[in-house]
Amino acid sequence: MAEKLGMCRSTDNWKNQLLGRAAPASMKRHNNLQLQLQLERDLLRKANEIKKSLGVDLQLLTNRKKTSLVDAFKELYALPKLLVQLALARS
C-alpha cells in the first residue's frame, strides 16, 4: 500500500518520530469527544422543545419523553450512543 501511494517505510518512521505512534489515536479520541458533545447538545435542545421550559434536565424526563428523543435522533446517531447518553444523564 505504501508503494502504491509513493511512500516508503522511512516516511512512516519519520511520522512516528515527529508525532509519536499515538497521534492518530488521539485525533480519534478528539473526534469522538466532539461527537459526544454534539449528541449531548442535540438531546438537550430537543428535550427543551419537548418540555417547553428552560433549564431542562435529562434526568427528570419521563420515559415517554426520552423515547421521543431517541425517535428524533435515531437516524442521525447510533442507537447505542443515544441510549448510553440518556443512561449517563441518570447518574
Domain positions in the chain are 9-90
pLDDT value at 25 more than 60: no
Instruction: Look up residue 37 and give its three cell numbers.
Output: 458533545
CA–CA gap between residue 91 and residue 79 (Å, rounded): 19
pLDDT tens digits for 58-87?
888 888 888 989 999 999 999 998 888 888
| Cα radius of gyration (the chain) | 20
User: Helix %, strand %, coil % for the chain, to 5?
Assistant: 75, 0, 25
Band of residue 50 on the pLDDT scale cut at 50, 70, 90: confident
pTM as predicted: 0.56
Quote the pLDDT of residue 47: 87
- What letter represents residue 47's amino acid? A
